[in-house]
Amino acid sequence: MNNSGSPQDMVPPVEGVAGGGTAYGWGDGSSHDQSLLQGTIDPARIPSSELVNVWCMPSTANVGPQETPRPLEPVSLLAARNERESIQVAIRPKVSWSGSSNAGVVQVQCTDLCSTSGDRLSIGQALTLRRVVPILGVPDALVPIDMPVSQINLLPGETTAIWVSIDVPSTQPPGQYDGEFIVTATKADAECAAQSLGKSEKYELYRELRNCLDVIEPIDGKPVEEMVERVKSATTTLRRVLVSPSFSDFYSENGPPDMMDEDANLSIRLKLSLTVWDFVLPATPSLPAVIGISDTVIEDRFGVEHGSPEWYAALEQHFKWLLQYKISPFFCKWGNSMRVLTYTSPWPADHPKSDEFFSDPRLAAYAVPYSPVISSGDLAKDYLQKEVEILRSKCHWKKAYFYLWDEPLNVQQYDAIRQQASEIHAYAPDARVLTTYYSGPSDAPLAPNNFEAFLKVPGFLRPHTQIYCTSEWVIGNREDLVKDIVAEIKPENGEEWWTYVCMGPSDPHPNWHLGMRGTQHRAVMWRVWKEGGTGFLYWGANCYEKATVASAEIKFRRGLPPGDGVLYYPGEVFSASREPVASLRLERLLSGLQDIEYLKLYSSRYGREEGLAILEKTGMYLGPERYTHDHNPIDMMRGEIFRTCRS
């Protein structure tokens, strides 16, 4: 694939057309009277509102190409500090004003969000813009676009969505922050003035501004007379820049044109208002969500050799990028019969990088490898003992766990877990071993029926497992079974109950398959909180089919529901950027984890029963088949917690 084009126009190659789910929106069936706009359309002379529809959609909406226009209304959002809140801005052409196959080009930009006290959330830092790109026809990939201004090609009769995220720093002063999202229809060849400058002109402009800053900046201890001279010098430099040919379009004998009035007449302006309240989401997530990353996929697709400097760099990039989503990544390599080598740091325990990884407050849990990640000819027999002894001396040891085997199915596999766990506990009696399972051993039934055998697994594995991680598929829509599962866990002995989703459960239950509803994705974490699990595991975030070129065609693994095991994409598929590209589903995972922090705050004030009650009162989540399909109950829940818990 040729990646030389703009990321704003990039459509990723995908395999096949299977598994797209449902339609997104409806054909509007309406026809615009283009007789009023016959002939050549100059978007510089016509209000953009006559050329395009612009409206806002919540982050749980799947905005596909056939999404129909809605009224343009101001947006009011609520966010805690250290929280990300997102919305979508949908754009759909009414007519075509381009001579090409495109309907036309729009310029999109977002202003900073500012409070009356002068505090701000800046574009490019706290505010980011990404284009929603379909995968297998379903809106999913979030491809970064240029900021603060970007140009988007619109296709006739199709809706394009821009994902707007606001990351509120933990130190941001509470208050109301206001700004605008601006859409302007423009000519295809229109460019920002800075982009049309030659390299020498850009350098000259840079040099002048740099000199101006150098004159003004060192002010400490300078006498007033010298400062006056410095200001005069800087004023002269700035005046010379402003009257240069680069800015001739904006200056004349009659003064500068009133650009704001012109923009106000031609551009579409969506007003954004964000209320930041004084609740701070904890740096370390309350619920550990451990997510697997296949190191083999990274090695194959990016052409890095296992153990090479490039390999370490690639793993570190993925690890640090994923931390922004409040998840705890672990790398994994699959062996025979579902044996798995899992590790959060590719470096040994005594390496400074391991301490850096494990000490990061955003990391809630980390996987310790049972055997060396990097093999060598003279493997030390006491490798495990040395690793454990080093880690036990660290304050972050409480985050550690061992994940040895995925979904054991027979006595031999269960015995392997016992043997490995016994060795671990010989060196560290307080070590936590995690085991995922959905059944007991098939060749040695623990009970007359499958569910009863499933319930007996903790007794069968005790004391060789501390974290019993069960599939949500087993529970199905029978939430009453949760109490039977929990009854087998002994928290007084340090045991925990976690859950996971994989291929199942399927629709309508919460999961992260491509094509499911947005609230269905977000409800994965609602379910965890309501059922009372203390952690969550997901088997893979980058487990697409093997490829040996970073920009190669995206293929989901055959035999799995589309999107299963894939929560982000290689950036190279969409542009020249090497930064991973998030999916809508990954963003909704983050939103679900943030919802848990709201519910935890509310429960800490009023008790867990009231926390459960607010889910039902708002209609947000009642069970795995009874949750909202609409975004409003989410806003109701968050708004009620804001109203009752703000200090």
Average pLDDT over residues 258-273: 73
Average pLDDT over residues 598-612: 97
Closest CA to 301 of 318, 276, 288, 289: 318
| Per-residue pLDDT, 27 | 32
Residue 512 backbone class (left: φ over 0; alpha: ψ -120 to 50; beta: rest): alpha
Domains of the chain and any CATH numbers: 48-193+264-278 (2.60.40.10), 199-245 (no CATH), 289-584 (3.20.20)
| Per-residue pLDDT, 191 | 40
| Per-residue pLDDT, 18 | 31
| Per-residue pLDDT, 210 | 72
Q: How do residues 28-42 score in pLDDT, each as one tens digit?
A: 334 444 444 555 788
Least confident of 12-16, 318-322, 450-454, 507-511: 12-16
Average pLDDT over residues 146-167: 96
Q: How do residues 331-368 score in pLDDT, each as one tens digit?
A: 999 888 889 999 999 999 999 999 999 999 999 999 99
| Per-residue pLDDT, 198 | 61
User: Among residues of the chain, what percentage have pLDDT more than 70?
Assistant: 85
Average pLDDT over residues 455-482: 95
d(CA 319, CA 370): 20
Torsion sign across C-alpha atoms 537, 543, 544, 550: positive
* pLDDT at residue 195 greater than cutoff 50: no
Share the mean pLDDT of the chain: 88
- Cβ atoms of 509 and 471 within 8 Å: the answer is no
- Cβ atoms of 547 and 555 within 8 Å: the answer is yes
Higher pLDDT, 10 or 157: 157
Calculate the CA 627 to chain-centre distance: 22
The helix/strand count (H/E) of the chain reads as: 17, 25
Q: How do residues 376-391 score in pLDDT, each as one tens digit?
A: 655 557 899 999 999 9
d(CA 645, CA 278): 10
Least confident of 261-265, 399-403, 505-509, 570-574: 261-265
Average pLDDT over residues 302-323: 97
